[in-house]
Amino acid sequence: MRWILALLIVLSVGANELAAQGKGKGIRLWNLTSATISDFQLSPAGKNDWGPNQTLNDKDKEVDHDERLRISGVEPGRYDAKVGYRGARHCFVRDIEIKADAVFSIADKDLKDCNK
């Protein structure tokens, strides 16, 4: 009888681990720019249909250099990003490939069409 109980426990733990793996870590942005991002919006590539400010997902509402940010409400695909910094400076990053449960990064060299 004990071996049946032990088997049930092992099967239950294994099922929970598989369920956790199925959820994945989600899509995450890795800020490799030299400044703190205060606004980050995505649009399907070439559409200029900007979604919500993803930095609001962060506890301090900003993404520091070398910090990662969980992205919500976005399906895998190709996107443009509007990246905002303190002082109303905005830049764009075009045609980012976003994959499920993966990290994508933005670096200074990726920033285009910045205003001052």
Q: Report the length, in residues, of the chain.
A: 116
Look at residue 21 in the predicted model and tell me its pLDDT: 43
Q: If you search the block for the tokens 């099922």, which residue do you land on?
A: 15
Residues 6+ away with beta carbon under 8 Å from 36? 62, 63, 64, 65, 85, 86
* Residue 80 counted as domain residue: yes
Instruction: Supply 94's token pair.
Output: 């075009």
Alpha helix positions (H), the chain: 2-23
Q: The domain spanning residue 48 has which CATH number?
A: 2.60.40
Q: With 0-12 CB in 10 A as exposed, 13-18 as middle and 19+ as buried, what is 67? A: middle
* Residue 62 counted as domain residue: yes
Q: With 0-12 CB in 10 A as exposed, 13-18 as middle and 19+ as buried, what is 74? A: middle
In this prediction the pTM is 0.78
Look at the chain and report how many structural domains it folds into: 1
Structural domain boundaries enclosing 91: 25-110
Mean pLDDT for 66-94 is 96
pLDDT in tens, 13-47: 444 444 444 468 899 999 999 999 999 999 999 99
* Residue 50 counted as domain residue: yes
* Residue 20 counted as domain residue: no
Look at residue 18 in the predicted model and tell me its pLDDT: 42
- In the chain, the amino acid numbered 20 is A
Look at residue 4 in the predicted model and tell me its pLDDT: 52
* Residue 5 counted as domain residue: no
* Residue 2 counted as domain residue: no
* Residue 96 counted as domain residue: yes
Cα separation, 33 vs 108, whole angstroms: 5
* Residue 30 counted as domain residue: yes
Mean pLDDT for 56-65 is 97
- State percent of the chain over pLDDT 70: 80
